């Protein structure tokens, strides 16, 4: 079932929470429209700070507001937020230990044809290398709503990223969402697929294709990249013949390399494939077309899985 864009769920959840807590402050960089926060701005004008197109300043101001007791959400396109303002994230949020939530909107290749200036396929890698900031990439509306609820009183610096396309429902709602704990969406014996964010639904559909030819996969939504849930990965691989990771991110420094690092240091040697964007001048197109091109269509994922266990 197709639900709404995670972006909309984020904005709606934040507005509901902020109506009950005037200490929740949103900071935007001419990004309230793209962040679906126009209604927030109209209903709670005292709780939104607009800095204009100045992402470095946005992050610094977030740190300052947090330092005087505010619960701060800095919202800006992930590409600018995590590249232009990286030093502010590193020093003013992470190193200075301000429990700000930074929300990278339109992450991955959500901006489609707008091209590489707007794509954010580096954000997980760069923030993984920075001490004292956690990273969450919700897959669907449920995970988005839960992570925003958790973020309000989270006591650590936090980065959340998502895109803007409607997402399918992946959870039955009986899961107990917790930052740091991956969620097993499917149980299977042949393969494990680990994915994060908007590619989880593609992995889900690939699993359904594979089920039709009697290949059963475990599917993990690894919504939290840092701190990483090693246990859910290690507990899922005892019987399987291979592991595939899928992410809307560069293959360098993302989910796949994190999994590879864990497995190799545990001396686990299984067929292993990382799906993501290679180190090359990127193809342009819609999010769908770009993901499809780089082997992340439902069919291509299923094919790669099939070949892996031959």
Partner 1 sequence: MNTKDLELKSIDYRKTILEIIFNGGAGHTAGSLSCIDILNVLYNNILDINPRNFNNYDRNHFIQSKGHSVEALYTVLCDLGFFSKDDLSTLNKFDSHFIGHPTKKIPGIEHNTGALGHGLSVAVGMAIGFKLDKQNHKVYTLLGDGELSEGSIWEALLSANKYSLDNLVVIIDRNQLQITGKTEDVNPIEPLKEKFNAFNLSTKEVDGNSVKELNNILANTPFEKNKVNLIIANTTKGKGISFMENEVMWHHKVPSNEQFILAKKELEELKMNIEND
Residue numbers at the binding site for partner 1 (CB under 8 A): 25, 46, 49, 51-52, 54, 56-57, 59-70, 87-88, 91-92, 95-97
- Shortest separation between residue 56's beta carbon and partner 1, angstroms: 4
Q: Which is nearer to partner 1, 92 or 257 (CB)?
A: 92
- Shortest separation between residue 154's beta carbon and partner 1, angstroms: 18
**Can you say how many angstroms the Cα of residue 295 is from the centroid of all Cα atoms in its chain?**
19
> Nearest 5°: CA angle at 286, between 281 and 207?
100
Gyration radius of the chain over CA positions? 19
**Which residues fall within 8 angstroms of residue 253, CB to CB, at 6 or more apart?**
122, 124, 125, 126, 128, 129
Q: Which is nearer to partner 1, 90 or 145 (CB)?
A: 90
- Shortest separation between residue 98's beta carbon and partner 1, angstroms: 9
C-alpha closest to that of 67 among 96, 87, 45: 96
Q: Which is nearer to partner 1, 72 or 302 (CB)?
A: 72
- Shortest separation between residue 26's beta carbon and partner 1, angstroms: 12
Sign of the CA dihedral with 65 first, then 71, 229, and 126 last? negative
Q: Which is nearer to partner 1, 71 or 202 (CB)?
A: 71
- Shortest separation between residue 227's beta carbon and partner 1, angstroms: 22
Q: Which is nearer to partner 1, 56 or 106 (CB)?
A: 56
Q: Are 238 and 109 a contacting pair, CB within 8 Å?
A: no
């Amino acid at each position: 079932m197709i639900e709404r864009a995670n972006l909309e769920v984020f904005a709606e959840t934040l507005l509901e929470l902020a109506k009950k807590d005037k200490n929740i402050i949103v900071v935007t960089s001419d990004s309230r429209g793209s962040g679906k926060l126009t209604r927030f701005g109209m209903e709670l004008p005292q709780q939104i700070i607009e800095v204009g197109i100045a992402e470095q300043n946005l992050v610094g101001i977030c740190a300052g507001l947090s330092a005087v007791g505010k619960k701060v959400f800095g919202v800006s396109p992930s590409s600018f937020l995590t590249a232009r303002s990286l030093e502010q994230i590193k020093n003013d949020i992470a190193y200075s230990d301000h429990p700000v939530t930074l929300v990278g909107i339109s992450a991955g290749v959500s901006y489609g044809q707008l091209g590489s200036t707007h794509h954010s396929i580096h954000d997980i890698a760069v923030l993984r290398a920075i001490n004292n900031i956690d990273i969450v990439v919700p897959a669907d509306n449920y995970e988005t709503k839960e992570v925003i609820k958790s973020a309000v009183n989270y006591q650590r610096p936090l980065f959340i990223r998502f895109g803007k396309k409607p997402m399918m429902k992946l959870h039955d709602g009986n899961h107990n969402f917790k930052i740091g704990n991956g969620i097993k969406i499917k149980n299977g014996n042949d393969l494990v697929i680990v994915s994060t964010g908007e590619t989880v639904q593609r992995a889900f559909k690939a699993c359904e294709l594979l089920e039709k030819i009697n290949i059963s996969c475990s599917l993990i939504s690894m919504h939290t990249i840092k701190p990483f849930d090693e246990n859910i990965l290690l507990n899922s691989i005892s019987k399987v013949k291979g592991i595939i990771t899928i992410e809307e991110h560069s293959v360098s420094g993302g989910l796949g390399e994190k999994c590879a690092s864990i497995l190799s240091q545990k001396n686990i040697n299984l067929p292993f494939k990382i799906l993501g964007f290679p180190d090359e001048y990127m193809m342009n197109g819609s999010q769908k077309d770009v993901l499809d091109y780089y082997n992340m269509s439902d069919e291509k994922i299923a094919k790669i899985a099939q070949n892996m266990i031959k």
